[in-house]
Structure 1
Amino acid sequence: DRVCFVDYKTPRPAPASLAEVPPAYVLQLALYRALLQPLYPGRTVKAALLFTEAPRLIELPASALDDALARLTGA
């Protein structure tokens, strides 16, 4: 019922929270999600970043991804 994907990142130091994640990373995953959604109709597509230094998994809420894509497209 859902598709989840994870992008691995290696920056140091790793962000401690979503608020510290660079906007470019959020936009990157928003674009990935936008590409995956038509491939999996009827399924929720979820995204997360895994920072290997910590290790720390930060899930990106749909609202953050939507906002990043809206800023890019001006919508």
Structure 2
Amino acid sequence: MRRLGALLMILGANLAIGSVAAAFYLASFGCAMGAADGTCDQGAMGLFIDLMSSSDGVVFWVVIIVGLLIFWKGKRMREHA
């Protein structure tokens, strides 16, 4: 069970960090496409914060929470094995 717990911890961390990275990439891409027109006044970080606080960011938040729950479950499995 310790190996399964370790795999779950790795999977959960990858999901949570990957979701944040994907959201930041999406915001950066939107800023880069807007910069061609000269419309990216906020910068990528501002767009990232707007994305994560909008209704579109709910998907990223759900994946982050699921990743953290999987990580937590793996940590508990390793402690109890």
Same fold (TM over 0.5): no
Q: TM-score, normalised by structure 2?
A: 0.35
More strand by share: 1
Structure with more contact order per residue of length (Cα contacts < 8 Å, sep ≥ 6): 2
- Structure 1 or 2: more helix by fraction: 2
Between structure 1 and structure 2, the one with the greater Rg is 2
